[in-house]
Amino acid sequence: MMPPGDTLTRPRPAGAPPGHRTPVEDGTPVEDRILGLLLPYHRTTEPGATTGPGAHPEQLRQIRQFTDAGEPVLFTLPGFPCKSPNPAKVLGHLPDEGERLSLAFLDRLCARIGEIYEPGARMLICSDGHIFGDLIDVPDAHIDAYGDELRTLISSEGLHHLDTFDMRHVHGDADYDTKRALVTDAYAPSLGALRAQVRSDEETARLYRGITRFLAEDTAEFTGTRSALQRACRERAYGVIARSRAWGDLIAHCHPRSVRLSIHPQRPGAAKFGIRLLEAADAWATPWHTAVLRQPGGEARLMRRADAEGLGRLVLRDGRPSHYEAVGREAVS
């Protein structure tokens, strides 16, 4: 990986055909260099596997669509849906320090691409809360408020490489129930096909187990037995995965020329590239399921609010709970 600031390529010269490839100084294609900036933050199901640019031909192809044309690289990232409804996990229903740090991290990745590829890069945050909000028991009003605050953060923090996309951008003035049904009917796999894939494909099965676990953890109030909760969450997990795939396919339809990212771990060679949201190495933690604990050296850790509360003091930002700050012997390793 080259240090930030090295010049590796230039835009397509005036009059050159769209497929013109301006060589870089050391002969390495610029798409390899761009992907190389993302590789240290790859969320993968195979952490011991080879992770050089050549192990990700689909991402190289997607990036090349832009570098061949001398255009800014566009990344699409489904995620940042809404806060977990479980108050033991998060500080409230609005974005806080976790989202602020994650958005800044993603903006910096795009900025670093601009240092080695002059047209630069942009990232579209495709908030997916509305597509499955009814399945995770989060009101549409809370999802709207979360999305509005994301846009405010992007503007106030000067994150010029980021934009947002959500359900409000599709199907006009229809209500959210109608929009969910339209997107699901158009793009979601059938329940039977999804069940078969969970049985036959380990990556899908791993995702299914993870979503089931999150749904159970996020159910703050349940009057039935633990086994009844697990059954209900397993059924809802199929719906969440089906609708998430529908949302991803809608994004691909609306933005067919993009580099497709995912918050979920992906194997090398997959159609999507799994990306971490912070420097931290945890493969699953996201800011909408956790709170931030800042250690004395400044490192940010994502953990359950109830755990962070026992390790630090609450910090407010603009009058709202933002994160926890560990002090003295309360710092964690």
First-last CA distance in the chain: 29
The tens digit of pLDDT for each residue in 32-74 reads: 999 999 999 998 877 766 668 999 999 999 999 999 999 999 9
Mean per-residue pLDDT over the chain, rounded: 88
DSSP string, 46-101: -TTS--SGGG-HHHHHHHHHHHTTT--EEEEEEE-----S-TTT-S-SS--HHHHH
Distances (CA, A) of 295 to 34, 91, 137, 286, 315: 31, 18, 33, 18, 13
**Residue 21's pLDDT band (cuts 50, 70, 90):** very low
Average the pLDDT over each of 18-22, 113-117, 160-164 and give the range with the smallest value.
Answer: 18-22
Which position has the higher pLDDT, 297 or 188? 188
**Residue 251's pLDDT band (cuts 50, 70, 90):** very high
The tens digit of pLDDT for each residue in 134-146 reads: 999 999 999 999 9
Question: What percent of the chain is predicted at pLDDT more than 70?
Answer: 87
Q: What whole-number distance in Å separates Cα of residue 164 and Cα of residue 127?
A: 7
CB 109 within 8 A of CB 279: no
pLDDT of res. 329 = 53
